Every structure is written in structure tokens, then in C-alpha cells.
């Protein structure tokens, strides 16, 4: 179901949409929320699964308005506003800025390639931005921060805070600062009762020019991002060892140790269960797991009968998976193969939804089942 936001973009000349509003599918926001909750350190609970129930039942193409504000206590409002703001921002970045590979930042810098000294480094104190991201063709390196707020005056203050956060890191290759886009988004929520009447989505998106870097360094940078993206998604889905191996590939500084880590990652991928949606050729060998409102199912297998029960109990089971051949290319560090693989046209069916980064979200139940090869 499509919902709309009042939209502003700075610089206006670069806005990806014409007109005063921007639309997003609720399913896009929920899928972005699934990936976001899974890839962010911490408990992977199903916050995305309640989103549709919180919105006013005004139908497709209407504004994104909650039935009432997100909680009464300030701390609850702040927490939920920030969380849902990340969901909306990621869906927007994926759809309108064509970003698909996301590496999450915590309180520390992030190493993308130890041998080539490609690093994400802090440049000032304070909370770091949410993501370093790029497009599926390994371009458009972007630092992004998302904010959500209930401010009656609009999203400007939240956008300014987000923009300050987006300034707090650089991406470096050796001693050179890499060119990046810095993006801040702020969503001001609307509510039908006791809240602002309109929902706003404001974006600031200039380019921060850096220095030219070697093409091999550029490829290594994006491969490092992809390895972190896959690792952060695979880890909560029950593939912690594979995730650890992928992170070591990004961190390793020694060629000899790197070769050892590549061999280890290959072996772990070889033993990982490969799954597909039954009765369709849309997916082609996925590594992942089932996620419900209560979080991922990592300690027990769910056969087709179990999947049916989870759906019948309205636990909203989905299978979240990553294409096995893309994981293999990320392990090998082959930029051409990665670009070719991500450039292939996907064949989604009515239900299975791809994300342009080798990932799929597949709702289960009503005859849709995931099974191992």
C-alpha cells in the first residue's frame, strides 16, 4: 500500500522526485525495517511487523499518518520515532537514491580493507551516522544519518542534528580522503489524534569531494562494504561463523592470513544450508533464515508445517536470505563478478521481494514455503 510524505530536498535541483510529495510502499518500509533490525547490533525484535497496524486506514496513496502519536512518555516517543525514522529513511535511500549495500556504524571506526588501509575514521566527537552505503554497481559511496521526530514546527531541527552527525566520519584510502555523498534524512510524523496533521520527509544531500584513489582501492572499498553488509545480515540468521569469516576478510592486514581466511570462509559457505521458495524459480539458492515478530528462528528448524502454524498464529514469518553465489563472490573479492551478479535482472514473483543487493524477503504461509535443497 502506497503512503505519501510532504517532501523537501536540499539541493532542490538534485531532488529525485518532482512535486511536493514523495511516496513509499508500506511493504518497502517494512522490508527495510527487517533488514535494519537484523543488521543493527542488539536484539532483533519484530518492530517492522506492527507498522501497518499503526497507520490510519485511509487507503493507498494517502498520507503516512499514524492513528495517534507513538507513545505518551517522551522516552517512548523518542525511541520509536528514531527506530521508525531509520526504517523510512532506508526505504527512501534504497528506492530514490538507489543505495542497496549498507554497512552499519557503531561507536568505533570501521575497517573495510586492512591490507590497503581503507578505513572509516572518526573526525569529531559525538554519535556517528547510521550507515556507510553504496549502490549495487559499487558506486555512489554515501554516509547517511536518519532522524525521526514529532516536532510541531517540522523536521528542520532534526535534519540539522542529522546533518551534524553525517559530518563526523571520513572514508580514507591510505592517507587520502575519498569522495563521498553525505545524506541526512528527517521524518516528522503526523498523527490523526493529538499530533501534527502532516508527515514530512526532508533530505539533505550534497557531495563532499575527496582525492582520486587507485581503481583497485576503490573496488576494495566497495567489496569491504559488501562483506560487512552480508555479515551483519547473516549473523542473526544463524550463520555467525560465516559472518565472522567475512568480517575477518575485511580486517585482515596480512596476505598470508587473508588466504587462510578465504579458505575458511569458503568451507563455511560450502556447509551452509541452501534454501529456495518452493514452487517458483524466482530465487536461486539462498543462505538465510526465518524471522517472525519475535525475532529470528536460529535454534530450531521450521519445516513447512511449522511455517504454516507460524503464519496461522499471525507471527508474520518471513524468510530473509542472501544469494549464495553473491556471498561466494564477496569471499573471493572479485569486483567484476559482484557487479555482474548484482546487475542481473531479478525475477520477483507476486510475493518474493528482492533488494538489489542479493537479498530476498519472502513472506511465508498461504501456500508459500521455504525448503532446503
**pLDDT in the model for residue 42:** 63
**Residue 349, all three cell numbers:** 514473483
Summarised one tens digit per residue, pLDDT across range 60-109 is 899 999 998 887 777 778 888 898 999 999 999 999 999 999 999 876 67
Intra-chain end-to-end CA distance of the chain, in Å:
33
pLDDT the model gives residue 228? 96
Per-residue pLDDT at 299 exceeds 80 = no
Over residues 237-243, the mean pLDDT reads 95
pLDDT (0 to 100) of residue 14: 94
To 10 degrees, the CA torsion angle through 166, 243, 239, 129?
Answer: -10
Q: What is the largest CA-CA distance in the chain?
A: 62
HEC letters along 66-134: ECCCCCCCHHHHHHHHHHHHHHHHHHHHHHHCCEEEEEECCCCCEEEECCCCEEEEECCCCCCCCEEEE
Q: What is the domain partition of the chain in residue ranges?
A: 2-215, 275-372
Residue 347 burial (CB count, 10 A):
12
Residue of 158 and 1 predicted with greater confidence: 158
Q: What is the mean pLDDT of residues 211-221?
A: 94
Mean pLDDT of the chain: 90
pLDDT at residue 329, as a whole number: 97
pLDDT at 304: 83
Can you give the pLDDT at residue 17?
96
Share of the chain above pLDDT 90, in %: 65
pLDDT of residue 348: 60
> Is a pLDDT exceeding 70 seen at residue 170?
yes
Banded model confidence at residue 316, pLDDT cuts 50, 70, 90: confident
What was the pLDDT predicted at 370?
Answer: 83
More confident residue, 368 or 292: 292
Each residue's pLDDT tens digit, 15-66? 999 999 999 999 999 999 999 989 987 655 666 667 777 889 888 899 999 9
Amino acid at each position: 500500500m502506497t503512503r505519501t510524505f510532504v517532501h523537501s530536498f536540499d539541493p532542490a535541483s538534485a531532488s529525485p522526485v518532482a512535486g511536493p510529495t514523495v511516496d513509499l510502499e508500506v511493504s518497502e518500509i517494512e522490508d527495510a525495517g527487517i533488514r535494519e533490525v537484523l543488521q543493527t547490533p542488539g536484539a532483533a525484535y519484530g518492530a517492522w511487523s506492527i507498522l501497518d497496524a499503526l497507520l490510519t486506514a485511509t487507503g493507498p496513496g494517502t498520507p503516512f499518518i499514524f492513528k495517534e502519536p507513538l507513545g505518551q512518555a517522551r522516552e517512548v516517543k523518542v525511541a520509536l520515532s528514531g527506530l521508525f525514522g531509520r526504517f523510512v529513511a532506508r526505504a527512501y535511500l534504497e528506492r530514490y537514491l538507489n543505495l542497496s549495500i549498507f554497512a552499519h556504524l557503531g561507536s568505533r571506526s570501521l575497517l573495510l580493507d586492512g591490507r590497503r588501509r581503507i578505513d572509516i575514521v572518526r573526525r569529531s566527537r559525538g554519535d556517528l551516522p547510521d550507515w556507510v552505503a553504496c549502490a549495487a554497481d559499487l558506486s555512489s559511496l554515501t554516509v547517511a544519518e536518519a532522524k525521526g521526530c514529532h516536532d510541531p514546527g517540522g523536521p528542520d531541527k532534526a535534519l540539522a542534528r542529522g546533518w551534524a552527525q553525517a559530518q563526523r566520519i571520513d572514508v580514507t584510502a591510505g592517507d587520502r580522503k575519498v569522495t563521498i555523498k553525505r545524506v541526512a534524512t528527517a521524518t516528522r510524523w503526523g498523527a490523526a489524534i493529538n499530533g501534527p496533521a502532516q508527515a514530512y520527509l526532508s533530505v539533505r544531500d550534497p557531495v563532499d569531494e575527496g582525492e582520486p584513489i587507485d581503481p583497485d582501492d576503490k573496488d576494495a572499498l566497495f567489496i569491504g562494504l559488501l562483506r560487512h553488509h552480508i555479515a551483519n545480515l547473516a549473523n542473526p540468521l544463524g550463520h555467525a561463523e560465516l559472518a565472522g569469516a567475512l568480517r575477518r576478510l575485511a580486517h585482515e592486514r596480512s596476505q598470508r592470513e587473508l588466504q587462510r581466511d578465504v579458505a575458511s570462509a569458503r568451507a563455511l559457505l560450502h556447509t551452509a544450508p541452501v534454501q529456495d521458495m518452493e514452487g517458483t524459480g524466482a530465487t536461486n539458492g539462498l543462505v538465510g533464515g526465518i524471522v517472525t515478530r519475535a525475532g529470528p528462528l536460529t535454534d530450531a528448524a521450521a519445516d513447512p508445517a511449522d511455517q504454516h502454524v507460524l503464519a496461522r498464529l499471525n507471527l508474520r514469518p518471513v524468510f530473509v536470505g542472501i544469494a549464495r553465489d553473491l556471498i561466494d563472490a564477496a569471499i573471493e573479492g572479485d569486483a567484476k563478478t559482484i557487479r555482474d551478479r548484482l546487475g542481473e535482472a531479478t525475477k520477483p514473483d507476486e510475493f518474493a521481494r528482492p533488494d538489489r543487493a542479493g537479498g530476498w524477503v519472502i513472506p511465508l504461509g498461504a501456500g508459500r514455503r521455504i525448503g532446503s535443497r
